[in-house]
Structure 1
Amino acid sequence: MQLFTKDELKKLAVNVFTAMGCDRQDSETAADVLVSADIRGIDSHGVSRLSGYVSLWKAGRINMSPKVEIIRERKSTFTINGDGGLGLIVAPKAMNIAIERAKIYGSGWGAISNSNHFGIAGYHAMMALPHDMIGMAMTNATPFIPPTHSKQAMLGTNPIAYAFPTLKQKPLVIDLATASVARGKIEIAKRENKEIPLGWMVDKDGNPSQNIDELLDGGMLTPLGSLEELGSHKGYALGSLVDILTGVLSGANYGKWVPPFVPFLPLLPDLPGKGLGHFVGAMEIEGFRPASEFKDSMDHWIESFKNAERIDESQEVFVPGEKEFLMEEERSLTGIPLNDKVVQDLEGLCKELTINWL
């Protein structure tokens, strides 16, 4: 394990994206999305993902100079064609448009097609916070999850994020996968040779498994809720909600046709849409009640939940997103740890792209 500062990792990511053909501003944005995951402790979606983006770029699956454009719009709603670009670039552009629409119409909603993996959903939702708005972001993803009673992968981890501004407390950020676990956490467990909990995945026949290697032989992740008796049908429904808003509504691919995040898996024939899809939104709080009152009430809400009666006095009650803010404070002081395997991969990327290592 090695420690790095946020600035070091951001500089590295900027150099990698620039070497792939991104302009400087887009490279800065993409790097900021990735490093925001690392600093907040979401290691599965940080700079460890750089090798995946490079592989897709080399395979011709990512356009590093996209012409992102609005192809349909009404007052508060719009659809964007991402032109095959990085979701790390396309989604922030869409969110900025949603925020500007919300300033005029009270809310802004954007459906995005023809994009790629967009990093952590929470980053995009949190863009609304400085504007006294509630932010929302979601995306569909590589299909790794079967519907309840099926053994065919039809849905991705399909994350949802909402961000709520506050007065004195840290903002409340809900950012969750609609799967039992993000695939990146499985990858981390494999790198660190750790056992995963029963219920995170199933084998190719749909039976519960803890053998990570079976993911390479048709194994799949489970919907949020894990097994049917534990509520997997609810996770399946939430994943479907995301897939419809991000894929069907935008004109992107959906279901089993969503493009995989690895170049060695081919695209399926008869694609119903273009690329991968996102959906973003911003709601101006002033349209509902004074923003200052809402934020004061949010502080009170957070404090009441923090003071909820504990099962064990030594175990603190956390609100959504709190652990990530605490991790950000810690890593800002102590540094961001990267697994030795990740460091090796990043050093290899630097050699491959002929850029300087840190």
Structure 2
Amino acid sequence: MRIPFNQMQDVLYKLFVKYKFTEDKAKLMAKVYAESTLSGVNSHGINRIPSFIEYIENGLVKVDAEAEKVESFGSIERWDGHFGPGIINATKCTNRAVELAKHNGMGLVALRNTNHWMRGGTYGAQAADANCISILFTNTQPNMPPWGGKDSRIGNNPFIVSIPREQGHIVLDMAISQFAFGKINDYKLKGEKLPYFGGWDDNNELSNDPEKILLKERGLPIGYWKGSALSIILDMLATLLSAGNSTYKIGLKEFETGISQVYLCIYPEIFNDKNLQQKLISEIIDYTHDVEPMTPGDRTYYPGERSSLTKAKNLKLGIPVNEGIWQKIIALSI
């Protein structure tokens, strides 16, 4: 089924107000969830709402809490999220990293004790809208085996890089697993197999069956052993910089909460060559676009380009959502 963007945003706003969020926070979260779904990322948009409400009801997300600065080291700051909503905390920390970057050329906020930020690309786009380059990442619960191991010990630690661009921002938003687990669940909801291997089944064989992969959450790292190493490094950086929980500590809990994140922003206008920067980016994009596709009628894309096209299409036609998920949300909002 397809839902108009404004209708989805209104329903979500009413739902969050019902769960005692202030009007401003309810508007922000409704906007972020709806825009993620509008861009085709249902896995970290509308599909996450029921589990987010469950986290609130279980006391894992503190409705009234939000991030605050606890230590300052010039252009680097440590913040504590106090287990508040991930979207509220992430928005606030991105804004602060932008402020630091515009004052110092570069700014870094390391956040601990927060909750899932949902779609990480949201904050890459937020930084780019403020004319900043960003490098953002988070650790997670254990959901991938370290290369050569059987059991999950590392997280798929989403990694975001954004670059502002007048003709459309570049926004890389990727998990360090071949498929984000929300995306794997998308395929499960559709009753479809993954197009490529996405993790291991009970027989320690690589599988493209969502149900078999989700059974024990043993995802496949991107680049095999290289992705495994990258996951470990990102976890180390997020933990050390924030003085927060590592994937190991997060995995000791029943639910994924108290995660650690990094928000690094760079203000490119300090270089005073904005026209050159845009020219160089366009050269790279034009060069990668100008290639014969392997599949006739197909084409190549820069990071974030597909999402922009999907967003425009869904604004016009309505946002495709799983009917069962939508009915759950309607029931919760009443």
Q: TM-score range by the shorter chain?
A: over 0.9
Alignment partner for residue 337 of structure 1, among 320, 324, 331?
320
Aligned-pair identity (%) = 24
Rounded Cα–Cα distance in structure 1 between residues aligned with 2:276 and 2:130 = 15
- The range that moved more, 125-134 or 180-189, is 125-134
Size of the aligned set, in residue pairs, is 334
Gaps of 5+ in 2: none
CA contact (8 A) 1:259 1:275 kept: no
- 1:52 is aligned to 51
Q: Secondary structure at the match of 2:242?
A: coil
- 1:23 is aligned to 22
Paired residue type of 1:11: D
- Change beyond 3 A, Cα 1:202–1:13: same
Equivalences for residues 20-99 of structure 1 within 5 A? 20-99=19-98
- 1:251 is aligned to 243
Q: Deviations over 1:193-217 (max 9, x none)?
A: 1122452011356332344333464
Q: TM-score w.r.t. structure 2 length?
A: 0.93
**1:249 Cα deviation from its structure 2 partner:** 2.3
Q: Secondary structure at the match of 1:173?
A: strand
Rounded Cα–Cα distance in structure 1 between residues aligned with 2:59 and 2:297 = 52
- Change beyond 3 A, Cα 1:299–1:344: same
CA contact (8 A) 2:66 2:88 kept: no
- 1:214 is aligned to 212
Rounded Cα–Cα distance in structure 2 between residues aligned with 1:248 and 1:59 = 29
CA contact (8 A) 2:69 2:77 kept: yes
- 1:140 is aligned to 139
Gaps of 5+ in 1: 226-231, 269-273
Alignment partner for residue 298 of structure 2, among 315, 326, 346?
315
Rounded Cα–Cα distance in structure 2 between residues aligned with 1:335 and 1:57 = 29
Q: Secondary structure at the match of 1:21?
A: coil
Q: TM-score w.r.t. structure 1 length?
A: 0.87
CA contact (8 A) 2:105 2:270 kept: yes
Rounded Cα–Cα distance in structure 1 between residues aligned with 2:56 and 2:182 = 20
- Change beyond 3 A, Cα 1:217–1:171: closer
- Change beyond 3 A, Cα 1:334–1:128: same
- 1:228 is aligned to none
Paired residue type of 1:322: E
CA contact (8 A) 2:11 2:330 kept: no
- 1:11 is aligned to 10
**1:256 Cα deviation from its structure 2 partner:** 3.1
Q: Deviations over 1:17-69 (max 9, x none)?
A: 22222211122222222122111111111111110111111111110101421
